[in-house]
């Protein structure tokens, strides 16, 4: 609880909140005490219900007692030169010991090392408050249990960390500046450390022995905010700048809300290597909405464990909703994978815009990863200045197409994925590309009302059960549609440019039952090319 200075006591600063007004926010509305100058602002905007084609609990903000604790009362010094780590941590610990509450970071600049949240704590940044994270690597030790690129280990603490906690939040109108540039230098000389970690996992080295804390030259960069094994998490309103690695990565978590935030990992300070935005990992019931991303890597990347370690842990990611987000630079707008070993299912994303990202939607996995990517819906999205494939489903992420391999538990699967009303306004590669495996086809993919203005049109390889309806593509290079080992494909009402000289090229002995409906093709025989081994009956015009 606050220790009031200068004769101020709790009686003359007590503030009573109307419980009926704030009850809708999910924050407990009991009376609280605070210094007059430190009254915080709580999120009050109602969260719209999620309406999705799978069972998912409605998102609710964590319930946190409304009493407040100012870091000023614990000796924090403003200015950005004196470390406030102890003051912030003492405020968090005192609040936790009092049953929980809001730890207020006031207006100003506050230098800190790693911050560890406790249950029932809201870390609230006032308007114009800046948490400036130290560039002294020792401020993030001792090492903590983490996942690095979705492999379990012990490494430098994330800038804000929690493990096994409930009801935690980061809210406000302030900024968290990771000052990550010194960490980025590690990317050049720690690739071997990452390979060593992956080898440890492959060889079954116990997790407690996978320590990368600078000892013996082993070190791995920390995430910005990595809650582990936590429930009821809220991140709302704040801005994250320039972490050392991934920005927000809830891992083994449940009931997560990330909304109304901005993440920048690319810009004035340079390029953040692996500067992803929000990366849920082996977590469930997650809402990401109204966020803006300007990242050096994926804007949103949904993951579930990597290779041997991910198969060992075997925890899926499921029930994820993404809506009303915008992405500027970044490898992908919404990305699933490539770490997919525990499986990813039940994804619903809508009303998102991306300008300058490599892709709009990207699903990526590979032989050896395992897991199932299934039951996903992407609706009402647009992309401009897309640098690579606008929609990309790729099971060859770490290799080339090889002859059919034996199916094993490590063979990934990709199925039941649906795209509706997606527009690529301008792109530099395929508008749509699907790359399956000869031994494990991409199955049951639907496209409705898709338009693409790109360098190339559509490419399907090793697929089965594809439906395209009401689609339109303009491409600089032909053929407009290329199929390799694709079967049971129905194209209904596709708009074909009159200028197209070669519309369709089909290859592979596995290609069969390719049906075109309501798609006029004047001089079709001249515009359709069938490769060696492809039956004339493989393509039907109705």
Could you say which of 293, 316, 341 is where a domain stops? 293
Rounded mean pLDDT of the chain?
91
| Residue 100 lies inside a defined structural domain of this protein | yes
- Asked if the model's pLDDT at residue 16 lies above 50, the reply is no
pLDDT of residue 174: 98
**Pair 262, 364 in one domain:** no
How does 336-346 read in b/e, with b if 16+ C-beta sit within 10 Å?
bbbbbbbbbbb
- Asked if the model's pLDDT at residue 21 lies above 70, the reply is no
| Residue 224 lies inside a defined structural domain of this protein | yes
pLDDT of residue 38: 35
| Residue 18 lies inside a defined structural domain of this protein | yes
- Asked if the model's pLDDT at residue 22 lies above 70, the reply is no
Query: Is the omega angle on the peptide bond into residue 132 within 30 degrees of 0, that is, cis?
Result: no
**Pair 42, 140 in one domain:** yes
Q: What is the pLDDT of residues 119-157, one digit of tens each?
A: 999 999 999 999 999 999 999 999 999 999 999 999 999
Give the distance, in angstroms, between the CA of residue 285 and the centroid of all CA atoms in the same chain: 13
Q: Torsion over CA of 246, 249, 251 and 253, rounded to 10 degrees?
A: 180
**Pair 44, 178 in one domain:** yes
Q: Which residue has the tokens 């990305």?
A: 335
Is 469 in contact with 447 (CB distance < 8 Å)?
A: yes
3-state percent helix, strand, coil for the chain, nearest multiple of 5: 15, 45, 40
Range of the structural domain that residue 415 is part of = 358-542
Q: How far is the C-alpha of 316 from the C-alpha of 281, rounded, in Å?
A: 8
How far apart, in Å, are the Cα atoms of 286 and each of 10, 346, 494? 38, 11, 36
Could you say which of 262, 293, 324 is where a domain stops? 293
Confidence of residue 268 (pLDDT cuts 50, 70, 90): low
Could you say which of 270, 293, 316 is where a domain stops? 293
| Residue 325 lies inside a defined structural domain of this protein | no
Q: Which two tokens stand for residue 152?
A: 């379990």
Helix (H/G/I), strand (E/B), else coil: 209: helix
Q: What is the pLDDT of residues 423-455, one digit of tens each?
A: 999 999 999 999 999 999 999 999 999 999 999
Q: How far is the C-alpha of 541 from the C-alpha of 521, rounded, in Å?
A: 9
Could you tell me how many residues make up the chain?
542
Q: Which residue has the tokens 């390719």?
A: 514
Q: Is 142 exposed, middle or buried (0-12, 13-18, 19+ CB in 10 A)?
A: exposed
Q: How far is the C-alpha of 163 from the C-alpha of 10, rounded, in Å?
A: 33
Q: What is the pLDDT of residues 462-521, one digit of tens each?
A: 999 999 999 999 999 999 999 999 999 999 999 988 888 899 999 999 999 999 999 988
- Asked if the model's pLDDT at residue 3 lies above 50, the reply is no
Comparing 28 with 337, which gets the higher pLDDT?
A: 337
Confidence of residue 42 (pLDDT cuts 50, 70, 90): low
Q: Torsion over CA of 121, 126, 128 and 129, rounded to 10 degrees?
A: -40
Instruction: Give the 3-state DSSP-derived string for 450-497, with helices as H, strands as E and coil as C.
Output: EEEEEEEEEEEEEEEEEEEEEEEEEECCCCCEEEEEEEEEEEEEEECC
Residues in CB range of 499: below 8 A, 6 or more apart? none
Is 102 in contact with 68 (CB distance < 8 Å)?
A: yes
Q: How many domains does the chain have?
A: 2
Q: What is the pLDDT of residues 346-385, one digit of tens each?
A: 999 999 999 999 999 999 999 999 999 999 999 999 999 9
**Pair 118, 192 in one domain:** yes
Handedness of CA 204, 206, 207, 210 (dihedral sign): negative
**Pair 400, 494 in one domain:** yes
How confident is the model over 13-24, as a mean pLDDT?
31
Comparing 212 with 36, which gets the higher pLDDT?
A: 212
**Pair 403, 273 in one domain:** no
Q: What is the CATH number of the domain that holds 264?
A: 2.160.20.10
Is 419 in contact with 450 (CB distance < 8 Å)?
A: yes
Q: Which two tokens stand for residue 182?
A: 């010194």
pLDDT of residue 287: 98
- Asked if the model's pLDDT at residue 24 lies above 50, the reply is no
- Asked if the model's pLDDT at residue 217 lies above 50, the reply is yes
**Pair 131, 213 in one domain:** yes
| Residue 306 lies inside a defined structural domain of this protein | no
Active site residues: 297, 331
**Pair 371, 288 in one domain:** no
- Asked if the model's pLDDT at residue 33 lies above 70, the reply is no
Q: Which two tokens stand for residue 356?
A: 């300058």
pLDDT of residue 270: 73
For 281, phi then psi, to 5°, come to -135, 120
| Residue 327 lies inside a defined structural domain of this protein | no
Beta strands 270-271 and 300-302: pairing type? unpaired
Counting residues of the chain whose pLDDT is more than 90, the rounded percentage is 85
| Residue 314 lies inside a defined structural domain of this protein | no
| Residue 496 lies inside a defined structural domain of this protein | yes
- Asked if the model's pLDDT at residue 330 lies above 90, the reply is no
- Asked if the model's pLDDT at residue 4 lies above 90, the reply is no
**Pair 245, 367 in one domain:** no
pLDDT of residue 18: 30
In the DSSP assignment, the letter for residue 448 is: E
Residues in CB range of 140: below 8 A, 6 or more apart? 113, 114, 156, 157, 158, 159, 222
Q: Torsion over CA of 475, 489, 391 and 377, rounded to 10 degrees?
A: 140
**Pair 226, 375 in one domain:** no
**Pair 133, 27 in one domain:** yes
Q: How far is the C-alpha of 188 from the C-alpha of 190, rounded, in Å?
A: 6
Confidence of residue 94 (pLDDT cuts 50, 70, 90): very high
pLDDT of residue 188: 80
Give the distance, in angstroms, between the CA of residue 405 and the centroid of all CA atoms in the same chain: 31
pLDDT of residue 510: 96
pLDDT of residue 329: 84
pLDDT of residue 2: 37
Comparing 16 with 314, which gets the higher pLDDT?
A: 314
Handedness of CA 150, 152, 154, 159 (dihedral sign): positive
Confidence of residue 282 (pLDDT cuts 50, 70, 90): very high
- Asked if the model's pLDDT at residue 39 lies above 60, the reply is no
Q: What is the pLDDT of residues 179-196, one digit of tens each?
A: 999 999 898 877 789 999
Q: How far is the C-alpha of 527 from the C-alpha of 522, rounded, in Å?
A: 8
Helix (H/G/I), strand (E/B), else coil: 344: strand
Counting residues of the chain whose pLDDT is more than 70, the rounded percentage is 92
**Pair 387, 518 in one domain:** yes
- Asked if the model's pLDDT at residue 40 lies above 50, the reply is no
Confidence of residue 13 (pLDDT cuts 50, 70, 90): very low
Helix (H/G/I), strand (E/B), else coil: 135: coil
Q: How far is the C-alpha of 260 from the C-alpha of 238, rounded, in Å?
A: 8
Helix (H/G/I), strand (E/B), else coil: 89: helix
Confidence of residue 34 (pLDDT cuts 50, 70, 90): very low
Q: What is the CATH number of the domain that holds 494?
A: 2.160.20
């Amino acid at each position: 609880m606050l220790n009031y200075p200068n004769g101020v006591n709790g009686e003359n600063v007590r503030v009573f909140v109307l419980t009926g007004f704030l009850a809708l926010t999910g924050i407990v509305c009991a009376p609280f005490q605070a210094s007059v100058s430190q009254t915080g602002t709580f999120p009050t905007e109602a969260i719209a219900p999620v309406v999705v084609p799978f069972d998912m609990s409605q998102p609710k903000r964590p319930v946190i007692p409304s009493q407040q604790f100012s870091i000023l009362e614990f000796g924090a010094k403003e200015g950005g030169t004196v470390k406030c780590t102890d003051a912030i941590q003492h405020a968090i610990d005192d609040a936790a010991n009092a049953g929980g509450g809001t730890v207020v970071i006031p207006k100003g600049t506050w230098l800190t090392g790693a911050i560890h949240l406790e249950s029932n704590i809201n870390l609230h940044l006032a308007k114009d408050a800046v948490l400036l994270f130290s560039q002294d690597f020792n401020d993030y030790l001792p090492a903590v249990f983490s996942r690095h690129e979705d492999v379990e280990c012990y490494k430098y603490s994330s800038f804000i960390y929690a493990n096994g906690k409930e009801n935690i939040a980061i809210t406000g109108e302030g900024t968290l500046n990771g000052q990550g540039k010194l960490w980025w230098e590690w990317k050049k000389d720690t690739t071997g450390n990452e390979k060593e970690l992956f080898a440890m996992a492959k060889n079954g080295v116990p997790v407690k022995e996978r320590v990368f804390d600078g000892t013996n030259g082993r070190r791995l960069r920390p995430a910005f905010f990595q809650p582990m094994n936590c429930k009821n998490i809220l991140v709302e309103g704040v801005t994250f700048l320039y972490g050392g690695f991934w920005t927000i990565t809830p891992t083994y978590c449940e009931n997560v809300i990330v909304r109304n935030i901005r993440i920048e990992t690319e810009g004035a300070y340079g390029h953040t290597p692996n500067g992803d935005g929000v990366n849920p990992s082996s977590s469930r019931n997650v809402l990401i909405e109204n966020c803006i991303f300007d990242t050096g890597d994926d804007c949103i990347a949904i993951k579930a464990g990597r290779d041997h370690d991910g198969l060992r842990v075997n925890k899926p990611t499921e029930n994820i909703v993404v809506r009303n987000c915008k992405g500027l630079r970044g490898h992908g707008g919404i990305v699933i994978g490539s770490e997919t070993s525990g499986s990813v299912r039940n994804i619903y994303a809508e009303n998102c815009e991306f300008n300058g990202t490599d892709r709009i939607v990207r699903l990526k996995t590979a032989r050896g990863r395992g897991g199932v990517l299934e039951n996903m819906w992407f609706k009402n999205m647009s992309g401009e200045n897309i640098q690579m494939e606008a929609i990309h489903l790729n099971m060859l992420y770490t290799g080339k197409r090889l002859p059919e391999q034996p199916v094993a538990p490590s063979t990934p699967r990709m199925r039941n994925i649906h795209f509706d009303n997606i527009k690529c306004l301008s792109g530099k590669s395929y508008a749509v590309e699907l790359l399956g495996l000869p031994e494990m086809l991409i199955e049951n993919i639907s496209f409705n009302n898709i338009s693409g203005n790109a360098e190339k049109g559509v490419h399907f390889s090793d697929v089965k059960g594809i439906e395209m309806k009401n689609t339109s593509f303009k491409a600089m290079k032909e053929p407009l549609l290329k199929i390799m080992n694709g079967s049971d494909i129905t194209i209904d009402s596709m708009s074909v440019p009159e200028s197209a000289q070669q519309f369709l090229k089909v290859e592979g002995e596995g290609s069969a039952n390719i049906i075109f409906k309501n798609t006029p093709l004047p001089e079709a025989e001249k515009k359709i090319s069938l490769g060696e081994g492809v039956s004339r009956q493989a393509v039907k015009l109705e």
